[in-house]
Amino acid sequence: MERRAFFGAGLAAAAAAAKTHVVTLSFDDGFKESFERTAAIHEEFGLRACLNVIALGHMPGFAPMPRGMPDPMTPFAKGDFAMWNRLRERGHEVMPHTYDHQNLAAIPIEQAKELIEKCIEYFQEHMEGFRPEQSVYSFAYNASTPEIEAFALRRFLGIRTRGESAMNPLPRGRRATRIGCRSFGPGNCDAFLDGELNRFLDGPGGWYVFNAHGLDEEGWGPMSAAYLRSLLRRLSRMANVAVLPAGEVLLRS
Q: Around Cβ 222, how many Cβ atoms within 10 Å?
A: 23
CB 96 within 8 A of CB 51: no
Q: What is the DSSP letter of 7?
A: G
**Which range touches Zn ion (CB under 5 A), out of 20-28, 116-124, 192-200, 241-249?**
20-28
Q: Around Cβ 141, how many Cβ atoms within 10 Å?
A: 19
Candidates 21, 25, 28, 148: give the one binding Zn ion (CB under 5 A). Answer: 28
Q: Around Cβ 167, how many Cβ atoms within 10 Å?
A: 18
What is the rounded distance in angstroms from the CA atom of residue 154 to the CA atom of residue 176? 7
Applying the rule CB under 5 A, the residues between 131 and 160 that interact with Zn ion are 140
Kindly state the number of chain residues that form the binding site for Zn ion, as judged by CB under 5 A: 3
Pick the closer one to Zn ion by CB: 29 or 190.
Answer: 29
CB of 65 to Zn ion, least distance (A): 11
Determine the 3-state secondary structure of 78 from DSSP.
Answer: strand
CB of 16 to Zn ion, least distance (A): 28
CB of 13 to Zn ion, least distance (A): 30
Pick the closer one to Zn ion by CB: 28 or 248.
Answer: 28
Pick the closer one to Zn ion by CB: 15 or 77.
Answer: 77
Q: Which residue is nearest to Zn ion (CB)?
A: 28
What is the rounded distance in angstroms from the CA atom of residue 220 to the CA atom of residue 215? 10
CB of 251 to Zn ion, least distance (A): 23
**Which range touches Zn ion (CB under 5 A), out of 26-34, 124-132, 160-168, 232-240?**
26-34
Using CB under 5 A as the binding rule, whether residue 196 contacts Zn ion is answered as: no
Pick the closer one to Zn ion by CB: 96 or 132.
Answer: 96
CB of 139 to Zn ion, least distance (A): 9
CB of 136 to Zn ion, least distance (A): 14
Report residue 228 CA to chain centroid gap. 15
Candidates 230, 239, 248, 193; CA nearest to 20 is: 239
Report residue 232 CA to chain centroid gap. 16
Pick the closer one to Zn ion by CB: 44 or 217.
Answer: 217
Using CB under 5 A as the binding rule, whether residue 29 contacts Zn ion is answered as: yes
CB 113 within 8 A of CB 151: yes
Using CB under 5 A as the binding rule, whether residue 100 contacts Zn ion is answered as: no
Q: Where are the beta strands (DSSP E) in 145-253?
A: 158-162, 167-168, 177-181, 206-212, 241-243
Pick the closer one to Zn ion by CB: 28 or 93.
Answer: 28
CB of 244 to Zn ion, least distance (A): 21
The CA-based angle 36-93-242, given to 5 degrees, is 100
Q: Which residues bind Zn ion (CB under 5 A)?
A: 28-29, 140
